[in-house]
A and B are shown apart, each in its own frame.
Chain A
Amino acid sequence: MDKARGGKQHGEPMPELLQFCVSGLTVGAVYALVALGFTIIYNASDVVNFAQGEFVMIGGMTTVFVAAAGVPLPLAALVAIAVAMGIGLLLHRLAIEPARGASAVTLIIITIGASIFLRGLAQVVFDKQFHSLPSFSGDTPIAFGGAAILPQSFWVLGGAAVIVVLLWAFFNRTLLGKAVLATAANRLAARLVGINTSFVVGLSFVLSAAIGAVAGILVTPITLTSYDVGTLLALKGFAAAMLGGMGNPLGAVVGGLTVGLLEAFGAGYISSTYKDAIAFIVILAVLFVMPGGLFGKASVERV
């Protein structure tokens, strides 16, 4: 995420602050989308899907290669999202569903295996090079309050906002979304009222894959992509989801943006080599005070 204008810049303190804010929010929006992907799958199935970052990679890489084959960028992006959704479905059907009922930690290792597999697959199908996409609206920075902002940043932030709104509408306004929420709240009860919970879990994987792919497509013009960008994104997204409070979509978004901002400010004001450290120190500090994350509820032990 280094090209996101996180480096030290000259100039007035206020524009500098604004610059860091925008670059932090841009990166943070991607973390937020990854964290949302974690949250959706976790709520539907209790699985912590460490292959979540690979969806971001698949989104970016597939768009790059389909576009390189001469397909127009918007169509290439759609193809990439469809590919990611297909892989999300396969991941659920071939790896998660057969292990239904296994312990949480076993399922996590399965998703880690899946992430290694997908990385290897990308290495074979694509290559090991870094790739970029053209920015959607050119590369001329927009002057804003003294700061120079890449137009692509607005695409990332806007895209993330649209996804959050669409998700909200899906979960609160559609029957299917409500079925997912019901499954998250109580799996047994959901099954008893006739909800096909296996379908719901599969849907959550497809949905998370789509969200990850969109994030990958939007951010590739800024950060570049390669077969192995998924690991670190999964880690950051997981940390963001935990910072917000596992299972809480609002927490995922706030957590993601916070981690992005912390990195940008840490890199800008303290030390770019320790920017990840700064984010994690804050996460540790928050968890020591709020052991259930920012939006987690204090749980009372039921005995």
Chain B
Amino acid sequence: MNAPSTPLLAVEEIGISFGGVKAVDHVSFTASPGEVFSIIGPNGAGKTTLFNLVSGVYQPKTGSVRLAGETVTALEPNLLAARGLSRTFQNLQVFFRMSARENVMVGRHLKERRGLLAHLLALPSTGRQNRESTEHADRLLARVGLSDHADTAAANMPYGALKRLEIARALAAEPKVLLLDEPAAGCNPVETEEIERLIRKIADEGVAVVLVEHDMKLVMRISDRILVLDQGRMLAEGLATDIRSNPKVIEAYLGTHGTREANLALD
């Protein structure tokens, strides 16, 4: 294959069923470096399941996932992470017993030196590694606006802050592809604006960002392309402007009688 035209992440015909229900049904999409690719759809459309399939948390029944041209279907999440795929979680998977800083340091795991003996005996290399990870974590916490919380136990942090903490943790691995599952959920308008700037910046640095988000205004502003899911199937895919005016999308989203709300939401 000719490398330049190959998208970084290519998902083809991926699918899974739970108890006979096709939660995700032959969905395909691609994401390229520097792009924000959004996946939208009503609740239960299969967005999070799609993320779980792409990130190796679930084993797909059909289809394939390719990362930088290599087939990585159903690879363990940690192996995918080593190949540059990182993600956040809709329902928060924070390390609650650890401080915010330590949470981000865990995200740095792949870049850390892993000699067990050096860790057990606290050899100088471990001290250097700890300092390096600490500094890196502090930079990322500053980047997501959580510097004040660095020493706070994650269990004591507010919801919106935890959403940003997950982003910082995911960034610590220096991913090439970043899957963000509702990063703006529970955020006030100011925080949402910060998140938007952050996502844009991440993409501008050459990361392929795949976004699942309910805040339609945010999605419409930030996305390069959008995929609409409904009951596990692809309803539409295209540029943000096309999706906004697609009647099928409006109908699926809010039902026929909800056109006014849909227009408001999509406006």
CA distance A300 to B19 in the complex (A): 11
CA distance A300 to B91 in the complex (A): 15
Q: Is B231 an interface residue (CB 8 A)?
A: no
CB of A300 within 8 A of CB of B18, answer yes
Q: Determine how close the nearest CB of chain A comes to the CB of B95; give it in whole angstroms.
A: 14
Q: Is A303 an interface residue (CB 8 A)?
A: yes
Interface size on B, residues (CB 8 A): 9
Residues of A with C-beta under 8 A to B89? 303
Residues of A with C-beta under 8 A to B129? none
Q: Determine how close the nearest CB of chain B comes to the CB of A267; give it in whole angstroms.
A: 42
CA distance A301 to B77 in the complex (A): 13
Q: Determine how close the nearest CB of chain B comes to the CB of A59; give it in whole angstroms.
A: 42
Q: Determine how close the nearest CB of chain A comes to the CB of B54; give it in whole angstroms.
A: 13
Q: Is B93 an interface residue (CB 8 A)?
A: yes
Q: Determine how close the nearest CB of chain B comes to the CB of A50; give it in whole angstroms.
A: 26
Q: Is B28 an interface residue (CB 8 A)?
A: no
Contact flags A147-175 to B (C-beta < 8 A → 1, else 0): 00000000000000000000000000000
Contact flags A269-303 to B (C-beta < 8 A → 1, else 0): 00000000000000000000000000000001111
Q: How big is chain A's contact interface, by range?
A: under 10
Closest partner residue, chain B, to A302 (CB atom): B91
Q: Determine how close the nearest CB of chain B comes to the CB of A254; give it in whole angstroms.
A: 24
Q: Is B218 an interface residue (CB 8 A)?
A: no
CB of A303 within 8 A of CB of B18, answer no
Residues of B with C-beta under 8 A to A300? 18, 58
CA distance A303 to B50 in the complex (A): 12
Q: Is B202 an interface residue (CB 8 A)?
A: no
Residues of B with C-beta under 8 A to A302? 91
Residues of A with C-beta under 8 A to B48? 303
CA distance A302 to B51 in the complex (A): 12
Closest partner residue, chain A, to B87 (CB atom): A303
CA distance A303 to B57 in the complex (A): 9
Within 8 A of A (CB), among B44-77: 48, 52, 57-58
Closest partner residue, chain A, to B55 (CB atom): A303
Q: Determine how close the nearest CB of chain A comes to the CB of B179; give it in whole angstroms.
A: 12
Q: Determine how close the nearest CB of chain B comes to the CB of A71; give it in whole angstroms.
A: 55
Residues of B with C-beta under 8 A to A303? 48, 52, 57, 89-91, 93
Residues of A with C-beta under 8 A to B58? 300
Residues of A with C-beta under 8 A to B91? 302-303
Closest partner residue, chain A, to B52 (CB atom): A303
Q: Determine how close the nearest CB of chain A comes to the CB of B166; give it in whole angstroms.
A: 12
Q: Determine how close the nearest CB of chain A comes to the CB of B45; give it in whole angstroms.
A: 17
CA distance A303 to B87 in the complex (A): 12
Q: Determine how close the nearest CB of chain A comes to the CB of B210; give it in whole angstroms.
A: 16
CA distance A303 to B58 in the complex (A): 10
Residues of A with C-beta under 8 A to B90? 303
Q: Determine how close the nearest CB of chain B comes to the CB of A52; give it in whole angstroms.
A: 31
- Kindly name the residue among A300, A301, A302, A303 whose own CB sees the greatest number of chain B CB atoms within 10 A: A303
Q: Determine how close the nearest CB of chain B comes to the CB of A104; give it in whole angstroms.
A: 16
Q: Determine how close the nearest CB of chain B comes to the CB of A115; give it in whole angstroms.
A: 29
Q: Determine how close the nearest CB of chain A comes to the CB of B153; give it in whole angstroms.
A: 16
Q: Determine how close the nearest CB of chain B comes to the CB of A33; give it in whole angstroms.
A: 34
CA distance A303 to B91 in the complex (A): 6
Closest partner residue, chain B, to A301 (CB atom): B57
CA distance A19 to B52 in the complex (A): 53
Residues of A with C-beta under 8 A to B93? 303
Residues of A with C-beta under 8 A to B18? 300
CA distance A302 to B92 in the complex (A): 11
Q: Determine how close the nearest CB of chain B comes to the CB of A154; give it in whole angstroms.
A: 43
Q: Determine how close the nearest CB of chain B comes to the CB of A297; give it in whole angstroms.
A: 11
Contact flags B132-145 to A (C-beta < 8 A → 1, else 0): 00000000000000
Closest partner residue, chain A, to B19 (CB atom): A300
Closest partner residue, chain B, to A300 (CB atom): B18
Q: Determine how close the nearest CB of chain A comes to the CB of B62; give it in whole angstroms.
A: 17
CA distance A301 to B55 in the complex (A): 13
CA distance A302 to B18 in the complex (A): 12
CA distance A252 to B55 in the complex (A): 37
Q: Determine how close the nearest CB of chain A comes to the CB of B158; give it in whole angstroms.
A: 21
Residues of B with C-beta under 8 A to A301? 57
Given A301-B57, A303-B90: 9 more A-B contacts, CB < 8 Å? A300-B18, A300-B58, A302-B91, A303-B48, A303-B52, A303-B57, A303-B89, A303-B91, A303-B93
Q: Residues of B at under 8 Å CB distance from A?
A: 18, 48, 52, 57-58, 89-91, 93
11 sampled A-B residue pairs with Cβ under 8 A: A300-B18, A300-B58, A301-B57, A302-B91, A303-B48, A303-B52, A303-B57, A303-B89, A303-B90, A303-B91, A303-B93
